Amino acid sequence: MDCVNRLHDVTQRGFASDNYAGVHPEVLAAIGEANGGHQVAYGEDLYTEHLQTVMAGHFGPGVQAFPVFNGTGANVLSLQSVLPRWGAVVCAETAHINTDENAAPERVGGLKLLTVPTTDGKLTPDLIDRQAWGWGDEHRAQPLAVSITQTTELGTAYTVAEISAIAEHAHSKGMLLHVDGARIANAAASLDVPLAAFTSDAGVDLLSFGGTKNGLMYGEVVVVMRPQEHAAAAALPFLRKMNMQLASKMRFVSAQLIALLEGDLWLRSAQHANAMAARLATAVRGLDGVQITQATQANAVFAILDPVVANQLREAFRFYDWNPATGEVRWMCAFDTTEADVDAFAGELQRLLKQAA
């Protein structure tokens, strides 16, 4: 007998966010396997212990993993763990920590964000230097960290060489490098390289590893690379509790992450989402009235579309405006997006464009 009456139409699909997708069946099964009996609370369970081994397999021996509830919490904790109260973070103007976290890094984390405009969401050493100055000046927040997003908020992916160059540049100035990896699996799938290639091996110090956008019910994990080189690992247990990111039944967060990362589920799901975005971009690129604005390198498609047509299309498929001033919209694909979903979306868009013409 069902315990909950289903309240939604399971055939309804959208392209607004990969957060709209449900939980991957393999992850749901993992939660069920972790259920039953008692396990020690607050992270002293066997699943969280095993997660350390799984993360070390991806990022190298010695890394430490701290599961949390969500991406904002992971980002705030990561940066807060290595910066003093007078510390500042250099990031892209479009960075999630700047535009979509309701000032949490600044109000909760007590950090100053120093933003830089970019055309593709990606920082470079030269762009970082626009804000990386003023050390020793008591009138200026001290730039002590760089935060980049992989993939970026514009759907672009940093190459291994680009992240290595940023890490080397940041370290030469006494700054640490944090990666917001909400869609890190999509980046690895796009680049066709292991996760370590553009994180631990490239010189990244802290990583917010995202799981929710890749099939988890909830849960992210802060990964500390080379914990002996900075204070993050020592600070995070206390900050995680202070910032309300310490799960009492942490085994259910860790079990999801194990299901995602111990095998290739993380990669299979990301590859599929990326492939659906590529299919969508190909389907709409030649349509009169659609202008693709960014390279489709992961699971996002950005395009400029007449607002009237966009609103009509939204009656069948939900999606978000990215820049209402220019008519730019964002279409996201998820692990459960199907070819039929993409084709139906592209077909409806084509019909509306012909109607408008």
Give the model's confidence band at 288: pLDDT under 50 very low, under 70 low, under 90 confident, else very high. very high
Decide: helix, strand or coil at residue 87: strand
Task: Give the global pTM.
Answer: 0.96
- Write down the pLDDT at residue 229: 92
Both tokens of 90, joined, read 């250099």
Pairing of strands 206-210, 220-224: antiparallel
| C-alpha to C-alpha distance for 150 and 64, rounded to whole angstroms | 20
Both tokens of 242, joined, read 């202070």
Range with the lowest mean pLDDT among 26-30, 35-39, 60-64, 227-231? Answer: 227-231
Please, what are the domains in the chain?
A: 25-261 (3.40.640.10), 266-356 (3.90.1150.10)
Both tokens of 330, joined, read 């964002």
pLDDT exceeding 70 applies to what percent of the chain? 99
- Write down the pLDDT at residue 161: 98
Q: List the beta bridge partners of residue 328.
A: 304, 323
Say if residue 1's pLDDT is above 80. Answer: no
Give the model's confidence band at 186: pLDDT under 50 very low, under 70 low, under 90 confident, else very high. very high
| C-alpha to C-alpha distance for 91 and 111, rounded to whole angstroms | 12
Give the tens place of pLDDT for each residue, 136-156: 999 999 999 999 999 999 999
- Write down the pLDDT at residue 124: 98
Give the model's confidence band at 3: pLDDT under 50 very low, under 70 low, under 90 confident, else very high. confident
Pairing of strands 206-210, 87-92: unpaired
- Write down the pLDDT at residue 2: 62
For 188, the enclosing helix (H) or strand (E) is helix 184-191
